[in-house]
A and B are shown apart, each in its own frame.
Chain A
Amino acid sequence: MTFDRLLNALAAWILALVWVLPLAYAVWTAFHPAAYEARFELFAPLTLENFVKAWDAAPFARYFLNTFILVTMVLAGQFFLCTLAAFSFARFDFPGRNILFALVLLQLLVMPDILMVENYQTMRLLDLVDSIPAIALPYVASGFGIFLLRQTFMTVPKELDEAARIEGASFLTILWKVYIPLAKPTYLAYGLVSVSHHWNNFLWPLIVTNSVETRPVTVGLSVFSAVDSGVEWSVINAATLMTSGPLLLAFLLFQRQFVQSFMRAGIK
C-alpha cells in the first residue's frame, strides 16, 4: 500500500516536472544571456536585459490591458446572453424551440474561427474594424455556453421554481435568485474555458486589428515569431513571461481559493 503510494507520488512528480518544463525553460532563457539558450550551466550569468529588449520591442503593458479588456468583454457578454438564452430553453415552452436549440448547437461546430472572411466583412459594415469589440463580438453568443447553462438550469428542481412562481416572483427574479446561484460552478467552469480560449486566441485578432490600441498579447508576441533571422528564444520567452506572469502569479496566490470554490460542486 505505501509502496503503491510512493510509486504514485513519484509518477505524479515526474509528470509535473515534464509539464512544467516549458515554463522552466522560459524562465531559464529569460533570465540568461542568449548564449545560454541551449546551454544549461548552473553558474551562467543572470541578466534582465531580455526583459528590457522585449519591453522596448513592443508596448506590452498596453497589449496586456487590451487582452484584459477583451477577455472581460467576451466573458460579460457571454454570461449575459447565454444565461438568458439558456433560461429560455430550459424553462419556457414555445414553438420553434427545438429547431432554435439545434441552431444554437450548430455553433458548437461552426466555430467563428472558420468564418473569418465573412466576419471581417460584417465588421467593416458595422465600422468596427480595428476595435476590441470587433474581436469579441463573434464570440459573445456562445452555443457552448448556452448548452452548458441549459443543462445546469434543467437540474434545478422544479419545485423550487414553482414555489417562487406561486409567491408571485417574476421570472427574472427567479432567474437571479434561484437559477444563477445554483449554477455558479458552471459559470466558473465555463468562464475558465472562455478566458483560456480568448487569452490564447491569435488568428482572428490578427486579422481584425491594426493598431497598438487594440491588439491583444498574442498578436504582440508574434512579432518575435516572425523569423527570417532565427528565433530569439531569450527575448520571446521574456515577453511570454511578462505577459503570462500576472495570470500565473494570480493562480499561485489564489490557487487554494480558486480551486476550492471551483470544486464546490463540479459540473453537473
Chain B
Amino acid sequence: MLKSFFLKAVAATALSFSTWASAQAVDLQFYFPVAVGGKAADTIQGLTDEYVAKNPDVTIDAVYAGSYQDTVAKAITASRGGNPPQLSVILAVDMFTLIDEDLIIPFDDYLSTDEDRKWVDGFYPAFMENSQTGGKTYGIPFQRSTPVLYWNKEAFKAAGLDPEVAPATWDEMVEFGKKLTMKDASGNVTQWGVRIPSSGFPYWLFQGLAIENGAILANAEGNKTNFDDPKVVEALDYMVDLSTEYEIMAPGIIEWGATPKAFFEGQTAMMWTTTGNLTNVRENAPFEFGVAMLPEKVQRGAPTGGGNFYLFKGASDEQAKAAVKFVQWITAPEQSAKWTIATGYVAPRPETWETDTMKAYAADFPQALVARDQLEFAKAELSTYQNQRITGIFNDALDAAITGKKDAATALKEAQAKADEILAEYR
C-alpha cells in the first residue's frame, strides 16, 4: 500500500519533472532574409529543422522576414516593441547601426573556450572586417557574397576574342567592351559590352571600382568616409565614361533585378553581379559562360557583401548559449557546403572548401572557386554608423553622376560634406 503510493508519487514526480524539462526547452526565434529566390528559404528552414531534430532541448522558430531591408526593419521594430528575436541574419554593414541602437551583443561573451576562439579565427579575414569592431565580434558570416564578372563565351568568340580569357584590367574591359558592343543597321545597340547594374544600391558594385583604384570608402571605426578621395572620383569617372565616352554600357541607371535576364538574352556580353547569382546563371544561361575576378586598376579588388548572424540583446543566458551553438553548427563545413551549393553564396570558412561535397562541387563547377580566390583581395563593404543613411547619400551622389545631373567630383564632394555632418558626433 505504502509502496504503491510511493511508486505512484515517484512516477508522478518523474512525469512532472520530464514535462517540466521539456517545457524548459530553450525557445529561439531567428529572423532570416532571403535575397536569392525561393530555394534559399527552404534550405534555411530545412537546416533549422535538421538541427532541432538532433537537439530536442531547443526549439527554433525560423522566420522568413523578407528582403534584407525588411529584416532589419522588422528586427529593429520588434526590438523597440520589446519583442526582439534572439538571432537574426542581417546585412554585415548594419553592424554599426545595430550597435548604435544598442540591440546586439558581441558573441565574445559566449565564446569562452580556446576552441571557440579558434572557431572565430577560422573565417575568412575579408568577411570578418565587417563583423568585428573595437576588438569584439558582433557578426558571424553566413550568407556572404562578393561581386564577380560573368562573361558570355559565345559572344566573345563572335567578337573575335579568346572565349577563355576575361578582361583583367580596366583598359582591357574597355577594349573588349568596344569589340563586344554590337549595333544593328539603324545604329541601335543590340548587345552591350558590359553591364554594371546601378539600381537600388549602386554603391556596392561601384565600391569594386573604388577598391581596384586603391581607395577605401570608410574607416574601420565606421565614423569617417572618404567619398571625395581623388581615387574615388577617378573610379566614378571611369564608370560614367563606360556609357558616355566608350559607349560600351547602357546609359542611365541600370536595373539590378533584370541584369541576369539581360545577360541570358544576349543584351550584354559581360555583367558584374553577385556570386549569389551563380546557381541562377548556371541553370539558366543558354550559352557557355565564364566567371572571373573583377578587373584591376592599381590592384585587384572587390567588396564583400551579404549577411551575418547577430545575437540580440534581451536573450537569456540559455538562449544566447543555444543560439551560439546553433550558429556554430550551421556554419560548420557540412551544413555550410549545402548552403553554398544551394545558393551560390561563398562558404565563409576555408575548411568548408576542404569537404568532399565541396570538392566534388568545385570540380564539376570550377567557376564557383573564383569568388573564393578573390577573397584575398576583397575589402570590407562600405559600413558606417547610421549606415543606411550614409550609403543613401552616397547612392544619391552616384545616381546623380551616372545620370549626368552632376559631375563626379561635385556629386562626391557634396556627399562627403553631408556624411561628415552626420558622422561628426560619432568621432
Q: Report if A and B associate in a common complex.
A: yes
When the two chains form the complex, which single residue of B38, B83, B260 contacts A53, counting CB atoms closer than 8 Å?
B38
What is the 8 Å Cβ interface bit string for chain B, positions 212-232, against chain A (1 contact, 0 not)? 000000000000000000000
Q: By DSSP majority rule, is chain A's interface helix, strand, loop, or mixed? A: helix
What is the 8 Å Cβ interface bit string for chain B, positions 270-297, against chain A (1 contact, 0 not)? 0001101101100010100000000000
**Is B257 positioned at the interface, with any CB of A under 8 Å from its CB?**
yes
> Is B257 a contact of A57 with CB atoms below 8 Å?
no
> Is A57 a contact of B42 with CB atoms below 8 Å?
yes
Q: In the docked arrangement, what's the CA distance between A233 and B35, Å?
A: 15
A35-B284, A38-B265 known; A227 vs B256 contact (CB < 8 Å): yes
> Is A206 a contact of B74 with CB atoms below 8 Å?
yes
> Is B38 a contact of A58 with CB atoms below 8 Å?
yes
Interface residue stretch chosen among B65-73, B108-116, B121-129, B404-412: B65-73
List chain A residues, Cβ under 8 A from B78: 120, 129
A53-B38, A228-B36, A229-B277 known; A120 vs B257 contact (CB < 8 Å): no
Distance in Å: Cβ of B52 to nearest Cβ of chain A: 15
Q: In the docked arrangement, what's the CA distance between A230 and B74, Å?
A: 23
**Is B363 positioned at the interface, with any CB of A under 8 Å from its CB?**
no
List chain A residues, Cβ under 8 A from B25: none
Distance in Å: Cβ of B42 to nearest Cβ of chain A: 7
A120-B81, A123-B81 known; A207 vs B39 contact (CB < 8 Å): no
> Is A226 a contact of B35 with CB atoms below 8 Å?
yes
> Is A211 a contact of B61 with CB atoms below 8 Å?
yes
When the two chains form the complex, which single residue of B39, B41, B64, B81 contacts A121, counting CB atoms closer than 8 Å?
B81
**Is A97 positioned at the interface, with any CB of B under 8 Å from its CB?**
no
List chain B residues, Cβ under 8 A from A235: 37-38
Q: In the docked arrangement, what's the CA distance between A34 and B286, Å?
A: 11
Closest to A127 in B: B83
**Is A219 positioned at the interface, with any CB of B under 8 Å from its CB?**
yes
**Is B134 positioned at the interface, with any CB of A under 8 Å from its CB?**
no
**Is B389 positioned at the interface, with any CB of A under 8 Å from its CB?**
no
> Is A223 a contact of B73 with CB atoms below 8 Å?
no
Q: In the docked arrangement, what's the CA distance between A211 and B33, Å?
A: 13
Q: In the docked arrangement, what's the CA distance between A211 and B85, Å?
A: 13
Q: In the docked arrangement, what's the CA distance between A235 and B37, Å?
A: 10
Distance in Å: Cβ of A222 to nearest Cβ of chain B: 6
List chain A residues, Cβ under 8 A from B181: none
> Is A223 a contact of B261 with CB atoms below 8 Å?
no
List chain B residues, Cβ under 8 A from A116: 77
Distance in Å: Cβ of A52 to nearest Cβ of chain B: 12
List chain B residues, Cβ under 8 A from A68: none
Closest to B279 in A: A229
Q: In the docked arrangement, what's the CA distance between A37 and B38, Å?
A: 18
**Is B183 positioned at the interface, with any CB of A under 8 Å from its CB?**
no
Q: In the docked arrangement, what's the CA distance between A34 and B285, Å?
A: 11
A34-B284, A38-B265, A222-B67 known; A231 vs B258 contact (CB < 8 Å): yes
* Interface residues contributed by chain B, number (CB under 8 Å): 44
**Is A56 positioned at the interface, with any CB of B under 8 Å from its CB?**
yes
**Is A210 positioned at the interface, with any CB of B under 8 Å from its CB?**
yes
**Is B367 positioned at the interface, with any CB of A under 8 Å from its CB?**
no
Distance in Å: Cβ of B36 to nearest Cβ of chain A: 4
Distance in Å: Cβ of B68 to nearest Cβ of chain A: 8
Closest to A123 in B: B81
Closest to A220 in B: B64
> Is B77 a contact of A207 with CB atoms below 8 Å?
yes
> Is A211 a contact of B38 with CB atoms below 8 Å?
no
Closest to B263 in A: A230
State which size class the interface on A falls in: 20 to 34
> Is A124 a contact of B81 with CB atoms below 8 Å?
yes
> Is A124 a contact of B82 with CB atoms below 8 Å?
yes
List chain B residues, Cβ under 8 A from A222: 66-67, 70
> Is B70 a contact of A206 with CB atoms below 8 Å?
yes
What is the 8 Å Cβ interface bit string for chain A, positions 28-63, against chain B (1 contact, 0 not)? 000000110110000000000000011011100000
> Is A228 a contact of B277 with CB atoms below 8 Å?
yes
Between B29, B37, B265, B280, the greatest number of chain A beta carbons within 10 A of the residue's beta carbon is seen for: B37
List chain B residues, Cβ under 8 A from A121: 80-82
Distance in Å: Cβ of A231 to nearest Cβ of chain B: 4
What is the 8 Å Cβ interface bit string for chain A, positions 195-227, against chain B (1 contact, 0 not)? 000000000001100110000000100111111
> Is B276 a contact of A207 with CB atoms below 8 Å?
no
Distance in Å: Cβ of A39 to nearest Cβ of chain B: 8
> Is A230 a contact of B63 with CB atoms below 8 Å?
no
> Is B35 a contact of A230 with CB atoms below 8 Å?
no
> Is B260 a contact of A229 with CB atoms below 8 Å?
yes
> Is A57 a contact of B74 with CB atoms below 8 Å?
no
List chain B residues, Cβ under 8 A from A233: 261
Q: In the docked arrangement, what's the CA distance between A169 and B274, Å?
A: 72
> Is B82 a contact of A37 with CB atoms below 8 Å?
no
A206-B66, A226-B34 known; A117 vs B261 contact (CB < 8 Å): no
Closest to A226 in B: B67
> Is B34 a contact of A223 with CB atoms below 8 Å?
yes
Q: In the docked arrangement, what's the CA distance between A223 and B63, Å?
A: 12
**Is B259 positioned at the interface, with any CB of A under 8 Å from its CB?**
yes
List chain A residues, Cβ under 8 A from B70: 206, 222, 226
**Is A162 positioned at the interface, with any CB of B under 8 Å from its CB?**
no
Closest to B81 in A: A124
Shortest 9 CB-CB distances between A and B: which pairs? A57-B38, A230-B260, A228-B35, A124-B81, A226-B67, A227-B257, A231-B257, A229-B280, A228-B276
User: Given A57-B39, A228-B145, list of 8 further CB < 8 A pairs?
Assistant: A58-B38, A117-B80, A124-B82, A129-B78, A210-B63, A226-B33, A226-B35, A226-B70
A-B pairs with beta carbons under 8 Å apart, 19 shown = A38-B265, A54-B38, A56-B42, A57-B39, A117-B77, A120-B80, A120-B81, A124-B82, A124-B83, A206-B74, A210-B63, A222-B66, A222-B67, A227-B257, A228-B277, A229-B36, A229-B279, A229-B280, A230-B256
